[in-house]
Each structure stands twice: as C-alpha cells, then as structure tokens.
Amino acid sequence: MAAVGELLELLSSAHERALSLHAQLCDWSHPPATRELVVERGERSELLVPRSRWRGAGPFPRASERRRRVLFLRPDRVRVEVSRNHQLVRVGVRNGDDWWRWDHLDGASTGRLSDGPLNARMPLLVDPPMLCPARLIASLRLEPAGVGVRAGRDVVQARGLLRHKPPSAPAAIFELEFDAEHGTMLRYAAIEDGRCRRLTEVLEITYDVPIEPDQFSPACVGADGCEVRIADPPPARSA
C-alpha cells in the first residue's frame, strides 16, 4: 500500500518543481479490424442516395505514426506541434485560459475556457495527459510495476486496469511509465486482447530549459492561418 501511495503522490504533485520542459514524442496506433457496414442516406439531386461505410477502422486497418513536440512553461503555458511524414499538420497553443489551434485541413480556431459552459474543457491537443498524469486516477486502477529508464530519465513503472469497463469493450491493460522526479508520463501503452493498440513514448525530454514567452502566443501564426512558424528548439540542458 505504501508503494501505491507513493505512486499516487508522484502523479498528484507532477511538475511542482519543474519550471519548463521540452519533449519529443512518438504516437503509434493500430486499431482493431471491424466488419460492420453502416448504411447512410444523403440528399443528392433531390434523391435519397444510400451510402455505406465501415464502422470503425474497417477490415484492413493500417498502423499510423506521428511525432509530437511539446513545450511547457509553468504554470499553464503549452505549445504542441504534430507532424506526420515530416510534415507539420497541427499546432496548438495554450496560454492560461486562452487557446488556439491550427490544422492543415480545418484551418485555425481559438477560444477561451472562461467563455464556455461550466463543464467546458481545454482541447486535448493543448492539455495532453503527459502533463496531467493525475487525470488517470479517475479512470484507471493503478499499481506499481517496477522501475526503469526512459529517454535518459529514471522512471516509475505502473500497470493500469479500467475502473469501469463497458460490457462491449475488449479486455484492456495499460502499461505506463512516469518520470521519477517530476511525474511526467513518459510512456503509455494500451494493450487489448493481448495486442498493443496504442503507444506513446517520449523520445527526448529536458527540464528547466529557457523558452521564449512568444512561443505561447498565436502571433507566431501567419495572418492567413496557414503559414505556421515552427519554433526553433530551445537550447537543451539535460536535467
């Protein structure tokens, strides 16, 4: 029980002593095959035309991979850049209650948390679980699983099970690693029916690096919302 308490304390006090961080991550996913067709109807030339699609990933799903670059400046400034095949496809910026995001398909959008409904949440893009590991406690029953090293950092390993599993959901086990000093989630693996379906791993991470405040402002975005200036990596100093 003492080990469980120490793990929960680490997650609850994450980043209390870290002024900033700069991380590079790899996200990988391979959804399960589905064979259920959904028939939809839409209007075209005033006729109802049936249209079918696979529910979920379809019978021949492919694995996908993306890279993320995360900048964090305490207490609540975050910048996330997402790339696929070395091409920037999404950028998100958070500065307190204000957030902004740009997507290569959907363009730019912005908002303020205080302007939304009482149950409004910050977009997940700029509120990544790696920075808020205590959020996992509500959905996962965690237990320590050892120690190790990830990206040059000592980590605490944990195993998680869903607290409330939907009847139709597959059996899932979660393997997690947290920075032993700062609590940052450095690895997340979702294993369903014995196969890894989602995996996030930190490739590089440094703490207490200097980051220019303008990295957390939409001023670094082109006026047309499409020309995104990618910030130069801050001078890295290994923690």
Please give the share of the chain, as a percent, with pLDDT higher than 70.
76
Residue boundaries of the structural domains of the chain: 2-31+64-220
Residue 176, number of CB atoms within 10 A of its CB: 25
Indicate the pLDDT class of residue 107, thresholds 50, 70 and 90. Answer: confident
Tens digits of residue pLDDT in 153-195 = 999 999 999 998 777 777 899 999 999 999 999 999 999 888 8
- Enter the pTM of the model: 0.79
User: In angstroms, rounded to a whole number, what is the distance separating the alpha carbons of residues 42 and 123?
Assistant: 30
CATH topology of domain 2-31+64-220: outer membrane lipoprotein receptor (LolB), chain A (2.50.20)
- End-to-end C-alpha distance for the chain, whole angstroms: 30
Phi, psi (degrees; rounded to nearest 5) at 41: -125, 135
User: In angstroms, rounded to a whole number, what is the distance separating the alpha carbons of residues 197 and 32?
Assistant: 7
Any idea which of 21-30, 37-46, 135-144 has the lowest mean pLDDT? 37-46
pLDDT (0 to 100) of residue 237: 43
Please give the share of the chain, as a percent, with pLDDT higher than 90.
54
